[in-house]
Amino acid sequence: MALGRRRGCAGHRESQKLLKKALAGGAWANNGDDGTARAQESTNTKNHVISERRRREKLNEMFLILKSLVPSIHKVDKASILAETIAYLRELEQKVEELESNKAAGTTVVRKRHEVGGKKVLAGSKRKASELGGEDTPLPKDGPSNIVNVTVTDKEVLLEVQCRWKELLMTQVFDAIKSLRLDVLSVRASTPDGLLALKIRAQFAGPGAVEPGMISEALQKAIRRR
């Protein structure tokens, strides 16, 4: 899936993959001339290969979904996705607990976002809290650079935008999306101190296929516009 490589948009991995796939297909297509156990063997291994390929694809797709679901994932590698998911899960759980206890008591507490929680409230987790080579920065120090990440899966499009906040920014972004004929499925956007973190899951509205490059470009333009 090249979770991280997709950033540049070039997709070298993809082309390589397709090339390999095509090569394999061509090679295996016409080897039935020795109609014996060999052919059967070949068929079996071929099926095995494509099965494995499907499995990997499925897994990677889920990784993508996870990435889209968890805010403050800015690194794109699998380990980070899992780690952030874990952290977010704990945070959410703890927040639910807090809110529910607040429901009982009348007072409302100011809730702040993300804290590094050491304590666990789930039963049965006897796990030692080690692991992770010390990668625990909740909000990395991303520079002033804008980040536009576009991922296209099957019929779904994942949009990730990060940039400085400015007036009517969101409006411009959604105008761009509208122009791209994308139908928005889910949105998550927040503006913590002057920054925008935006994550959108969408699908193509109608059969008009659009290149990821175009999407990325349009978004870039939208967030650059004065």
70 touches its own copies (CB under 8 A):
yes
Q: In the complex with its own copies, which residue's Cβ is closer, 7 or 78?
A: 78
Q: In the complex with DNA, which residue's Cβ is closer, 48 or 120?
A: 48
Number of residues assigned to the chain: 226
Q: In the complex with its own copies, which residue's Cβ is closer, 28 or 174?
A: 174
Non-local (6+) Cβ contacts of 148 within 8 A are 159, 160, 161, 162, 163, 216, 219, 220, 223
Q: Which of 5, 28, 152, 175 binds its own copies (CB under 8 A)?
A: 175
Q: What value, to the nearest 5°, has the Cα angle with vertex 220 and ends 216 and 225?
A: 150
Q: Which does 42 bind (CB under 5 to 8 A by kind): its own copies, DNA, none?
A: none
Q: Which of 39, 49, 205, 214 binds its own copies (CB under 8 A)?
A: 205
With contact defined as beta carbons under 8 Å apart, do 88 and 205 qualify?
A: no
Binding mask 24-53 for DNA (x = CB under 7 A): x-------------------xx-xxx-xxx
Q: Which does 95 bind (CB under 5 to 8 A by kind): its own copies, DNA, none?
A: its own copies
Question: Looking at this protein, which amino acid is placed at residue 123?
Answer: A
Q: Measured between alpha carbons, how far is 170 from 222 in angstroms, rounded to an integer?
A: 9
Q: Which does 48 bind (CB under 5 to 8 A by kind): DNA, its own copies, none?
A: DNA
Q: In the complex with DNA, which residue's Cβ is closer, 3 or 163?
A: 3
Phi-psi region of 59 (alpha: psi -120 to 50; beta: other; left: phi over 0): alpha
Handedness of CA 170, 166, 75, 92 (dihedral sign): negative
CB of 206 to its own copies, least distance (A): 9
Relative to beta strand 156-164, strand 195-204 is: antiparallel
Q: Measured between alpha carbons, how far is 31 from 153 in angstroms, rounded to an integer?
A: 33
217 touches its own copies (CB under 8 A):
no
- Closest-CA residue to 74 (of 120, 11, 143): 143
Q: Which residues pair with 152 in a beta bridge?
A: 157
Residues in the site for its own copies, rule: CB under 8 A? 55, 58-59, 61-66, 68-70, 78-79, 82-83, 85-86, 88-90, 92-93, 95-96, 99-100, 102-103, 106-108, 122-125, 127, 131-132, 167-168, 170-171, 174-175, 177-178, 183-191, 198, 205
The residues of the shown chain that bind DNA, judged by CB under 7 A, are: 1-5, 7-8, 10, 12-13, 16-17, 20-21, 24, 44-45, 47-49, 51-53, 55-57, 59-60, 76-79
